Amino acid sequence: MAAKRPPRVMILADGSRPALRAAVDRLRPTIEQHLEVVEVSLDFLADLSSSEAELAIVLGGDGSILRAAHQMGYEQKPVLGVNLGKLGFLAALQPEQLAAVLPEIASGEHRVVEHLMFECTAMRRGRLLCEALGLNETAVLAGPPFNMIDVELHVDGELATTYSCDGLIVSTPVGSTAHGLSVGGPILRKSLQAFVIVPISPHTLTHRPVVDSADRTFELAVPEPNEGTSLVVDGRVLCKLESEDRVKIVRSRATFQLVEVSGQTYYRTLHEKLGWGGQLNLGK
């Protein structure tokens, strides 16, 4: 019987950082003992949608994984994140753990968990202003001169409410541990099919985060924007907004695929990354 072909993999990292370029050189021989490396990309600029790789190993932090997801576009590959950054909610694997988990991946014993992605479009008087595929969040930020703005939230064509705030975030569960968490939003399990709407410094205390189904259509409008009011997707400024602009967020057909290996659990990651106290015994 012919030997099973090892999975084809691409290695992604930010080559502009010497420490990450050195990490690629250091870890590549270990990876090649178990997987077939068909591509190495060190600039996060290449279009990876047509790559023949079956798996992506991203060396870096969650920001690197976000950029990798953007590179793959609508042809997402399963991603194994190796944390060389800071918190690393998505890049939960430590470099010293890589050698131990690669045989599990090579034999197909790992799990691939799909996560919600979204499409964001902004229209101006019936014309497409900008658009993006995202993984974390859409944010409308007040911007200079930093006066509070009113942001209208429409759900399935119905005006739900108007927030007086410094900005509004519409986040996926993956993004719930990013900007939304820092402004008081809830943590959602990453595999949930839902969006969370979180106002930034709302003027009215009754405006709390709202969680709703990912099958809804969310639209945002700013009737009186500041000069610098901007639309931001996954940390990238897409465009400045004017009074007649309409921002739409909907579920995408693309899904982000995250590789999970033995020993990785949802609450273990939260416990370690957020510094939760108490004893943790999730191995039983």
pLDDT of residue 1: 47
In tens, the pLDDT along 198-229 reads 999 999 888 899 999 999 999 999 999 999 99
Outline which parts of the chain fall under CATH 2.60.200.30: 118-253
Predicted pLDDT at 277: 66
* For range 59-88, the mean pLDDT: 91
Q: Residues of the chain with pLDDT > 90: what percent? A: 77
| Segment 215-265, tens digit of pLDDT | 999 999 999 999 999 999 999 999 999 999 999 999 999 999 999 887 777
The pair of three-digit structure tokens given for residue 223, joined into one six-digit string: 């009737």
Mean pLDDT (the chain) is: 92
pLDDT at 53: 96
Q: Does domain 118-253 have CATH number 2.60.200.30?
A: yes
Looking at residue 176, its pLDDT comes to 95
Q: Mean per-residue pLDDT for 47-53? A: 91
Q: What is the pLDDT of residue 163?
A: 96
Percentage, residues of the chain above pLDDT 70: 96
- CATH superfamily membership of 8-110+261-274: Probable inorganic polyphosphate/atp-NAD kinase; domain 1 (3.40.50.10330)
Q: Where are the alpha helices (DSSP H) in the chain?
A: 18-32, 62-72, 98-106, 179-182, 266-274
What pLDDT score was predicted for residue 216?
98
The pLDDT confidence band at residue 271, using thresholds 50, 70 and 90, is confident
Q: Once rounded to an integer, what is the mean pLDDT over residues 72-84?
A: 94
- pTM of the predicted structure, to 2 decimals: 0.91
Give the tens place of pLDDT for each residue, 148-206.
999 999 999 999 999 999 999 999 999 999 999 999 999 999 889 999 999 999 998 88
Catalytic residues: 62
Write out the residue limits of the CATH 3.40.50.10330 domain(s) in the chain: 8-110+261-274
Which letter does DSSP use for residue 135 in this model? S
Q: What is the mean pLDDT of residues 110-114?
A: 92
Name residue, tokens 């399990």: 189
Q: Is it the case that residue 104 has pLDDT exceeding 70?
A: yes
pLDDT for the residue 130 = 97
Strands (E), the chain: 8-13, 36-41, 55-60, 79-83, 111-124, 127-134, 137-141, 149-155, 158-165, 167-171, 194-200, 210-213, 218-221, 230-233, 236-240, 246-260
